[in-house]
């Protein structure tokens, strides 16, 4: 958490110390779209979702979900921006054991839920400047990912093949890189519309309660953006 506080502190200091004209042109960027988790073939070794696929009936892509976000952007001259942002993704995936059922023939069911709240500190380069009618940009920075992963429902004890009900929860915060690319189309002096692709990469360590020791938090956000200067 010390790294989180230091990172946000540096960014806030930079914004407060920026020249007054620059602060007057700061902006809020609202984003809405989808989040595609890292695919099965590229997930970190020991990933719990990959390991669960050996016994449970679900697909990794079932965790793809909606994504919303908010970024506060501060211009630094004509060709650069710095910013801080927060987002939200959450998905609950129902699953059953692929090769086992209850004694009465009913499915052994559980819900797998993954929630990620990505916070980021980024810098962006606008190669053609902030005054053009079309404004592509590239950027990257540091992501701080608050996550919660849970497995809730019925489970098989393979020592005696009995079925029991339980809940397993892992939560915490991890740090990793963020990369992004996008384009904006100004609509007057205040509003812009655009699109952005954002990649995040991080992994969490899990306890022995889970089938896998890792949780891959990476993936791609595909976003529509509304940019408002103030």
**What are the domain boundaries of the chain?**
2-229
**Burial tier of 108 (Cβ tally within 10 Å: 0-12, 13-18, 19+):** middle
pLDDT per residue as tens digits for the range 40-62: 999 999 999 999 999 999 999 99
At 118-128, the pLDDT tens digits run: 999 999 999 99
Name which residue leads in pLDDT, 15 or 178: 178
- pLDDT grade, residue 25 (50/70/90)? confident
Tens-digit pLDDT profile for residues 99-144:
999 999 999 999 999 999 999 999 999 999 999 999 999 999 999 9
Q: How far is CA 175 from the centre of its chain?
A: 11
Mean pLDDT, the chain, whole residue set: 92
The answer to whether 67 and 34 have CB atoms below 8 angstroms apart is yes
CATH number listed for the domain at residues 2-229: 2.40.160.20
The answer to whether 162 and 151 are in contact (CB under 8 A) is no
């Amino acid at each position: 958490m010390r790294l989180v506080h230091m990172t946000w502190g540096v960014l806030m200091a930079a914004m407060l110390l920026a020249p007054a004209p620059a602060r007057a042109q700061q902006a809020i960027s609202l984003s809405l779209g989808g989040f595609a988790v890292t695919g099965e073939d590229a997930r970190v070794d020991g990933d719990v979702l990959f390991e669960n696929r050996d016994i449970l009936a679900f697909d990794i892509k079932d965790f793809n979900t909606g994504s919303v976000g908010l970024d506060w952007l501060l211009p630094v001259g004509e060709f650069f921006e710095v910013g801080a942002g927060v987002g939200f993704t959450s998905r609950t995936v129902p699953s059953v054991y692929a090769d086992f059922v209850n004694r009465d023939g009913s499915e052994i069911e559980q819900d797998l839920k993954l929630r990620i709240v990505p916070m980021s500190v980024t810098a962006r380069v606008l190669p053609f400047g902030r005054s053009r009618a079309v404004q592509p940009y590239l950027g990257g920075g540091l992501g701080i990912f608050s996550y919660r992963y849970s497995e809730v429902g019925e489970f098989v004890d393979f020592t005696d093949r009995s079925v029991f009900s339980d809940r397993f929860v892992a939560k915490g915060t991890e740090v990793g890189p963020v990369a992004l690319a996008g384009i904006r189309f100004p609509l007057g002096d205040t509003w812009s519309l655009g699109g952005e692709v954002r990649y995040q990469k991080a992994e969490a360590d899990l306890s022995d309660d889970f089938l896998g020791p890792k949780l891959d938090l990476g993936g791609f956000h595909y976003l529509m953006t509304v940019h408002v200067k103030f």
